[in-house]
C-alpha cells in the first residue's frame, strides 16, 4: 500500500494484495486459489467540499465462501459456490458539500461488474448464473453534531442486471437509511445505521406467481473501540439481503455479528482473536432431487434453506520496520445448512502474510 500527496488538499492511494491458498486435502486442486486485488483512490478535502474517486479490481478463483465486502453485506460468509476464475471491478465517486458549518449534502455512485470466465457446463455454469452488473446511486443529507461526528439520512437506488438471459432475477432496489458516523466517543469511532429496502424483481415467465416484491428492514453497525494504546475491539453487525448464488431462490436475508480483539505485546508484536456467527434464510423453497430415479420412485426434497455460519480465528503479527510487517494466522469456518449434504462444510486455513507500506 502507498499514499502520496498530490496537492495541499488531495492525496492518491494505491494498494496491491496477492493471496495464495493451498489445501492439503484429497480435493486440493478444486480448492486451491490464487487471488489478486488492485485498489486506487483519489481523495480531496477543501474548505466546504469533500470528494473521492476510487477503483477496485479483483482477479480471483472464487473461494468456497465469499468473504464480506463492499457488494456483499454478510459478516461471516457469502453464497457457497465452487472455485472458478473470475474478475470484478468497482468504480465509484462520492462528493459532499457543506452548506454552512453544520449542514451538508452529498451524492455518490458506484458501478460494479462481475464476470466468471468459464462458460463450460451449459445453463448451470457460474457464468450463466452469477455474471451481472450493479449500478448504485443516491444522495444524503446530514448535520454535524460534533466536529468529527455526522448524523445523516440517505436514499439510494440499486439496479442489478444479470447479463445472461438464463437467469430472470434482474431487480431494482430503493433503500432509505438513517444513521450516525464518525467519532462516537473519545475512544470509539464507527457507524450505526438502520433503514428499509424495497425490492422489485422482474416477472419470471416460467413461474408467473413467483414473488416479485420484497420489503425488508436493514441495519449495519461498525464500531472500533480502543480503551488503551495496547488493546482494540472491533465489532461488525448487520441485517440485509443478498442475491442467491443459485436460481433456486432469488435472495436470502442475512443477519450476524463478528467481533475482533487485538492486543499489542511489546513494541512490535500484536496478537488477535476474532469470532462471528451469521444466519441466512432464503426467501423461497428449494427443490432437491436426491437421485436419478423418477420422481414417483424418489420424491424430491422441498423445504426452506437456512444456513448457520460460524468463524473463529487467531493471528500474530510483527512489525519489522516502518514499511514492512509479517504475521501468521489461523481461521476455522463452518456452515450448517438444512440441506446438509449440499451446503454444509468445515474449512481450516493456516496462513502467512507479508505487508509493505510505501
* pLDDT tens, position by position, 77-111: 766 677 788 899 999 999 999 998 899 999 999 99
- Average pLDDT of the chain is 88
CB 54 within 8 A of CB 41: yes
Mean pLDDT across 210-232: 94
Mean pLDDT across 322-347: 89
Q: Is the pLDDT of residue 18 over 80?
A: yes
* Class of residue 25 by CB neighbours under 10 A (exposed 0-12, middle 13-18, buried 19+): exposed
- State percent of the chain over pLDDT 90: 60
Name the β-bridge partners of 42.
12, 53
311-320 pLDDT tens trace? 999 999 999 9
| pLDDT tier, 67 (very low <50, low <70, confident <90, very high otherwise) | very low
CB 317 within 8 A of CB 324: no
**What predicted TM-score, i.e. pTM, was given to this entire model?**
0.86
CB neighbourhood size of 146 (10 A): 12
CB 200 within 8 A of CB 210: no
Residue holding cell 447479463? 163
Cα→Cα distances 46→14, 40, 103, 342, Å: 21, 20, 15, 53
23-44 pLDDT tens trace? 776 666 777 888 899 999 999 9
Amino acid at each position: 500500500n502507498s499514499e502520496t500527496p498530490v496537492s495541499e488538499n488531495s492525496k492518491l492511494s494505491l494498494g496491491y494484495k496477492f493471496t495464495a491458498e493451498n489445501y492439503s486435502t484429497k480435493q486440493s486442486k478444486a480448492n486451491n486459489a490464487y487471488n489478486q486485488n488492485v485498489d486506487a483512490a483519489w481523495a480531496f478535502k477543501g474548505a466546504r467540499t469533500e470528494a473521492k474517486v476510487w477503483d477496485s479490481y479483483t482477479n480471483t478463483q472464487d473461494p468456497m465462501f465469499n468473504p464480506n465486502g463492499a457488494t456483499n453485506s454478510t459478516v461471516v460468509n457469502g453464497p457457497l459456490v465452487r472455485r472458478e476464475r473470475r474478475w470484478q471491478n468497482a468504480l465509484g465517486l462520492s462528493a459532499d458539500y457543506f452548506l454552512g458549518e453544520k449542514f451538508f449534502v452529498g451524492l455518490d455512485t458506484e458501478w460494479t461488474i462481475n464476470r466468471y470466465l468459464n462458460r463450460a457446463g451449459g445453463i448451470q455454469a457460474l457464468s450463466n448464473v452469477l455474471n451481472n452488473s450493479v449500478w448504485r446511486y443516491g444522495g444524503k443529507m446530514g448535520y454535524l453534531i460534533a466536529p468529527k461526528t455526522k448524523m445523516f439520512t440517505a436514499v439510494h437506488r440499486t439496479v442489478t442486471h444479470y447479463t445472461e438471459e438464463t437467469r430472470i432475477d434482474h431487480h431494482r432496489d430503493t433503500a432509505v437509511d438513517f444513521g450516525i458516523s464518525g467519532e462516537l466517543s473519545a475512544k470509539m469511532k464507527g457507524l450505526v445505521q438502520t433503514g428499509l429496502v424495497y425490492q422489485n424483481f422482474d416477472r419470471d415467465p416460467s413461474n408467473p406467481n413467483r414473488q416479485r416484491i420484497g420489503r425488508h428492514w436493514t441495519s449495519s453497525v461498525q464500531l472500533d473501540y480502543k480503551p488503551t494504546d495496547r488493546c482494540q475491539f472491533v465489532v461488525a453487525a448487520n441485517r440485509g439481503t443478498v442475491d442467491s448464488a443459485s436460481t433456486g431462490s432469488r435472495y436470502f436475508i442475512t443477519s450476524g455479528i463478528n467481533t475482533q480483539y487485538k492486543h499489542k505485546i511489546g513494541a512490535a508484536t500484536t496478537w488477535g482473536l476474532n469470532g462471528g456467527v451469521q444466519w441466512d434464510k432464503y426467501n423461497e423453497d428449494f427443490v432437491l432431487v436426491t437421485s436419478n430415479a423418477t420422481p414417483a420412485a424418489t420424491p424430491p426434497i422441498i423445504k426452506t434453506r437456512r444456513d448457520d455460519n460460524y468463524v473463529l480465528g487467531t493471528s500474530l503479527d510483527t512489525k519489522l520496520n516502518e514499511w514492512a510487517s509479517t504475521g501468521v494466522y489461523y481461521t476455522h469456518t463452518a456452515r450448517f445448512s438444512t440441506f446438509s449434504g449440499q451446503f454444509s462444510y468445515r474449512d481450516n486455513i493456516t496462513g502467512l502474510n507479508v505487508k509493505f507500506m510505501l
